[in-house]
Amino acid sequence: MNFGRFIQCFGMVALLAGPIACTTVPETGRSQLNLISPSMERGMGRDAFTNLKASTSLSSDQNATAVLQRVGSRIAAVADLPKAQWEFVLFDNSQANAFCLPGGKVGVYAGILQITQTEAGLATVLAHEVAHAVAHHGAERISRVLVVQGIGLLAISQFTKMDATSKNALIVAYGLGTTLGTELPHSRLQESEADRIGLIYMARAGYDPAEAVKFWERFAEYNRAQGGSRTPWFLRTHPLDEQRIEDLKRLLPEAQLQYRPRGKEDPPTTRPTAPTLPKQISKTVTLIVPQTGARKVIPWKSGITIYTARRKAGIRPAGPPQLTRAGKLRPAKPATTLKAGDVVHWK
């Protein structure tokens, strides 16, 4: 935790005279004020989603629903949200819209599919929404409302016993008490953070993160065609401008490092038997050349370290090494011992 951030977070919590309650956002490492427990977050998201599904028409388009499930499950598989109860639902609504409720409930309006167009386009939207959930942006928003309203930690932990005013403050913060599509906007910082994490997640799930830029460009075009007064809700709460697209382009190299293209078909559920695929073939490590971004694959050997692998691959030293193992980015040092399948890159 950065000391400055610690003080900032501590200062807000001190207002409540309660224990320090900060969490760290995965991937970005930002420290955030968070007074809401993950289980309470999941409960609120689940209840609200149940209500939405009961009061809003679901899409009858089985193909589009199947695509949503497929892309959604691939994004969810790489999302760092313990005990998440992921659910992806296609609503029958012509608006270009999508949202995520805390704990992993993602809603997509059918109208957005004309702009997502491809699975990678849809992955852009889903990864962005999933990132909001992983980063606990809803809980962060609600925590700020609680601090402003001076609602105590004890009251938060006893949501069911809260008085109506306090409960309402929580509900408004989540945007749960209103009809779908009127959720409060995320802050600019949360939007940028969801864009960054979303790019990384779509790359890890096997979608080319460069497609995110194309999606947002299509969305900008759609926005222009719609005209200002009829700007869809999704655009009002997800401010779209040249800056966002520029930011995404700047973040692309970070995400590209984690991009492993994947075929449309899911991998076979049974692994090839040993005789058809000798073990040696899969025992490699991959190093990303810092200067060019090229991939160098070298054989893995027991005890091989990042340092010896770099020497063997003929890669010149660069910044601190980073390691992607089993789809997750991990801290590393030159002396870190590698496992087969590891991917090494340098900051």
Interface positions with Zn ion (CB under 5 A): 194, 238
- Of 129 and 342, which has the nearer Cβ to Zn ion? 129
CB of 127 to Zn ion, least distance (A): 11
Identify which of residues 67 and 235 has a Cβ nearer to Zn ion in the complex.
235
Residue 335, CA distances (Å) to 43, 298, 312 in order: 44, 17, 14
Q: Give least dist CB 190 to Zn ion, A.
A: 7
CB neighbour list of residue 105: distance below 8 Å, 6 or more residues apart: 45, 46, 48, 49, 85, 86, 87, 89, 133
- Taking the complex as a whole, the smallest distance from the CB of residue 5 to Zn ion amounts, in Å, to 22
The helix or strand, by DSSP H or E, that contains position 28, with its residue range, turns out to be: none
Question: How far is it, in rounded angstroms, from Cα 172 to Cα 170?
Answer: 5
Q: Which amino acid is at 167?
A: K
- Nearest residue (CB) to Zn ion, 244 versus 345: 244
Residue number with CB closer to Zn ion (170 or 194) = 194
Smallest separation (angstroms) from Zn ion to the CB of 160 = 29
Q: How far apart are CA 56 and CA 46, in angstroms?
A: 15
For Zn ion, the closer of residues 71 and 135 by Cβ is 135
- What is the smallest separation between the CB atom of 185 and Zn ion, expressed in angstroms? 9
Please give the distance of CA 145 from its chain centroid, rounded to a whole number.
23
Strand-pair category, 22-24 with 87-91: unpaired
Active site residue 217: no
Nearest to 258 by CA among 307, 216, 205, 297: 205
Q: Phi, psi at residue 175, to the nearest 5°?
A: 70, 25
C-alpha–C-alpha distance, residues 201 and 205, integer Å: 6
Beta strands 98-101; 105-109: pairing state: antiparallel
Catalytic residue among 129, 140, 193, 211: 129
Active-site residues, by number, are: 129
